[in-house]
Structures are given as C-alpha cells and as structure tokens.
Amino acid sequence: MARTVVFHSHRGGTGKSTVASNVAMLIASAGGRVAMVDTDIQSPALDGLFGLGQYESSLGDYLLGRCEIEAAAHPVGPPGLRLVPALGRSCRLGEIMATGYDVGLLPEGFNRLSAVYELDVLLLDTHTGLNNETMTAIACADVLVTVVRAELAELVGAEATVAMARPTDCRRSVVINMSPGGVDPEAARQRAEQLYRAPAVVLPYAPEISVLGGERILSEARPNHSLVTEFRQLISVLLD
C-alpha cells in the first residue's frame, strides 16, 4: 500500500516544490514506484520543474470529470515516476475556477492512482497556506512535511499547519530549507523540533538550484552535489 507524503508551507518562497521533486526523483531512481500530484491549482510548478512539455490531461481534467486520474499521470524522469500536473492545455485556471468542482474527488483519485500503478509512495505538493485542496491533502497524509525557512518568524507562523495535522495520525516532519551559511544548523534543528515536537531536517542553501532556473531538478542535473546527499537523508527520515 502506498505511503502518502504531503509537502506544505504556510507561505511562498520556501522551495517546497523543489524539495518534493528531488525526493520523488531519488525514490524513483532507487527503484520505487512513485507518483507526484500537483494539487496547487492556483499556482502550479511541477510541470515546469520536470520539463513535461505539452500534455492534455491534468488534475483539473479529472476534477471536471473529463478523465480518470491515471490518464493524467504522465511518465517523467526515471522509470517508475509519474506526475499529475495541476492544469493543462485542455483545462485552464479560469475555467476550473469558474466551473467549480467537488474537492471530495481528491481522496478518491489519490486512492485510485495508488491502486492502478501499485505505488510505493504518493507525493502531494500543496498550495501555500490553507485552502480546501490543501486541507483535503493533509487529511490523506501518512507523513506531513512542513517546509519553512530558517527565520524564527516563519518557524512560528507555520504552527497553523502543524495544528491542522495534530488531530490526524500522520507522522510529521519539518524541513528548514535554504538555510544560509551563517545559521547554525544544529541550533536551527533543535529550535524547530522544540516548536513542532517533530523531527526536523536542515537543508543548506545551494546556489546551483537558482542556476537551474526552475527548469531542471538538482538530483538529476547534479547527482553528486552535496545537497543531493541531504535529500537522501531526508527520505530516510520520512520513510523509515
């Protein structure tokens, strides 16, 4: 049965989608059957990161009843990795917002996707903050990953996300991403774990990600980069 890992942040600019995409790529490269679903309908990012190009079916098409969700799961990256983009050529943001949809279709779609492709891991990338799609995704989580920056104000601000997860039985983890060189990683980790009462992982800032311009994934473009080793350690924390 697939383990569902949900990535969330309470505000933009944390690198949430970058972390999630590298995790997906590395799990699949190790032989895992993985699907990513971009549930961020308002500001999707994963199709660009994975260089998906032109495609027809998307999560939006599934929510509007135009296809089953597995038809929107496009092969990307290494064998065993699939991506369900939020929107596509046949479903634009204006249309889905004007038409509306039943957010309750999401859990059904997640379960179907896991069953059809016999997934080991289902990764859900959510919208920043809290909306219906994000709350539904969190309710489906086996593991909730809250991605934040190292600033204290942001660590405290993400508490709302953690509070949402407490009534569920999911495991929780905090990723302090893009930590600058002047920050003591051990002190940052301890502070986050004290605030959230959950394991924390500190990922250092890597300028090479900016150089890639959101068009390639670091673990694919620079597999020997030190940050890729940190991503592998994060996977161990999330899935072991």
Who's near 228: CB < 8 A, 6+ residues apart?
22, 26, 218, 219, 222
3.40.50.300, 3.30.230.10, 3.40.47.10, 3.40.630.30: CATH of 3-239: 3.40.50.300
Q: Under a CB-based contact definition with an 8 Å cutoff, are residues 25 and 143 in contact?
A: no
pLDDT, one tens digit per residue, over 28-60 is 999 999 999 999 999 999 999 998 887 889 999
Domain boundaries, the chain: 3-239
For the beta sheet containing 143-148, the strands, ordered from the edge strand earlier in sequence to the opposite edge, are 74-75, 81-84, 34-38, 121-125, 3-8, 143-148, 171-179, 200-204
pTM score over 0.85 = yes
Residue 238 token pair: 């999330």
Taking the CB of residue 185, how many other CB atoms lie within 10 A of it?
16
Q: How far apart are CA 23 and CA 230, in angstroms?
A: 10
Residue 63 token pair: 């929510």
pLDDT tens track, the chain, 240 positions: 899 999 999 888 899 999 999 999 999 999 999 999 999 999 999 999 998 887 889 999 999 999 999 999 999 989 999 999 999 888 888 888 888 899 999 999 999 999 999 999 999 999 998 888 999 999 999 999 999 987 755 666 666 666 665 556 789 999 999 999 888 999 989 988 988 888 999 999 999 998 888 888 999 999 999 999 999 999 999 998
Q: How far apart are CA 184 and CA 69, in angstroms?
A: 44
